[in-house]
Structure 1
């Protein structure tokens, strides 16, 4: 049963902080284990290969295109619509000793002979394996640099206990999102990497809003310990969090359902990240700060007594 909050009521979030923290730790360990065992379904951006965009005179039947390409030796071809039902994008892994242009011409010839003689080549690109490896390294480095910069920023703006809580929450969000992609073997390309970085920014924004209110309440509310202050702060920011997450989810669901396969991975990563990020702002970032011993003294700046302030003014 849901209870309507009255003005002044406080939700006891920290009451469940220990089981929630244990649950989060188990999820993180499970996600790391899944990534280690199953790995990722790397997209063309990371593995290298050939990308061909073709235009049909009539709406293309994707299952038929896949069947024709499989008969021609391209069993691993990824076929999807691009822009409209007549535009098709084909991605294939690199073939040793065969140039991308040759692969593109073979695919075009197969489509012309077996499906539509009016098929036209729109674009062809080739990504080498070396470039894919470089993108993988740079992508991982970008996430690590982002977390390090956030740690420095939050440490300067707040307090080191809150900084560790925020970075732990961000790492928690990234690991769980990656774990879901590994578990479901969803394709991981550059758009997904961009979504992961967007999740970091979204989760940090949510955490900073909560931390601002915690710092304010530590200075304003005179009664209550750290857990009570954190509960008050989370309750006060709950409506803002739910409205922000809800409106964001509406857009992401629309992108996921109607956006097409090109941004399916992007929308999926953000959908996972929004759910995980909202949860982690409460039961990872805030709970960890409480467990690290955050107190009122840490939130109140130390007053520096000026030299001669205790002396009586001259008559």
Structure 2
């Protein structure tokens, strides 16, 4: 199936604009990473430590009703998520607020007419949060190393560097969006980041495959011509794959429930960014590198 045929878009001609946009996004993302490292971002209890309780009520209840009940009991800084089906509420709060017992006491006192049971209660200490942050950084670093080794083995070291830069761009872009919107940074975000890293790599490899094929076919053509032709030839496939994945992520965001809302939102942003980076980040970097070593005849053309 082809949505577009015989396109002739000068993607390489847009490289300066794309580099400026990507540079700004990357800077914001780096600021977000620094804020996460210092603990000044909106850190979830996975990293900062805290309590998560899943409470099931016998009668229907709203998050505002639970919030009011907790507020009357002296618990103000709390995050509530309604779990679809079964009158269940997920209560999250940081360690410095109150204990799980305080939550139960406040609900019993201020929602006396609605009995409840605590389905699960998880407590994460600050030391565990710090370990999770370190393990997360190691996981991301190892994934980047794995990408560059795989691409370097399958293609060339230049392609490996381009793929890693594009993947890091995608990671920073997702962190930048969460940082600017002050969304919670938790394990689900890291899961989404690693998921999109894999998606971005797959999309980039498809484009690189066609570039390598055309480089062998057209040895005398200028490098930018080869890269533009390759991207245009795979553009229909890229759009179809991205749109179908994007629609799935949007459906998950709209209908998946509040518990995975931020995860689905990260996927939506990630799919868009990954599609952009395979065309406007990874390919131009490799093209510029290859152009520096092409023959004088090709440069003159």
With structure 2 as the length reference, what TM-score do the two structures score?
A: 0.89
* 1:150 aligns to 2:151 (yes or no): no
Equivalent position SS for 2:120: strand
Contact 1:60 1:85 in 2 (8 A): no
Separation (CA, whole Å) in 2 of partners of 1:245 and 1:173:
15
| Structure 1 residues not aligned, in runs of 5+ | 298-315
Match of 2:227 among 227, 230, 233: 230
Equivalent position SS for 2:290: coil
Deviation at 1:59, TM superposition (A): 1.6
Q: Which residue of 1 aligns with 2:46?
A: 45
Q: Which residue of 2 aligns with 1:209?
A: 206
* 1:257 aligns to 2:254 (yes or no): yes
What is the total number of aligned residue pairs between the two structures?
Answer: 288
Q: Which residue of 1 aligns with 2:70?
A: 69
* 1:30 aligns to 2:67 (yes or no): no
Q: Which residue of 2 aligns with 1:19?
A: 17
Contact 2:79 2:91 in 1 (8 A): yes
Equivalent position SS for 1:188: coil
Contact 1:249 1:271 in 2 (8 A): yes
Q: Which residue of 1 aligns with 2:107?
A: 111
Equivalent position SS for 1:51: strand
Contact 1:35 1:183 in 2 (8 A): no
1:66-89 deviation line (CA, Å, top 9, x unaligned): 122122221111111124260111
Deviation at 1:246, TM superposition (A): 0.4
* 1:159 aligns to 2:160 (yes or no): no
Contact 1:181 1:188 in 2 (8 A): yes
Separation (CA, whole Å) in 1 of partners of 2:169 and 2:288:
17
Task: Answer with 1 or 2: which has the greater Rg.
Answer: 1
Contact 1:108 1:119 in 2 (8 A): no
Deviation at 1:34, TM superposition (A): 4.8
Q: Which residue of 1 aligns with 2:299?
A: none
Deviation at 1:222, TM superposition (A): 4.8
Q: Which residue of 1 aligns with 2:185?
A: 188
Q: Which residue of 2 aligns with 1:270?
A: 267
**Residues 122-161 of structure 1 correspond to what in structure 2 (within 5 A)?**
122-161=119-158
Contact 1:155 1:163 in 2 (8 A): yes
CA RMSD of aligned residues (A): 2.0
Equivalent position SS for 2:87: strand
Equivalent position SS for 1:41: coil
Deviation at 1:149, TM superposition (A): 1.2
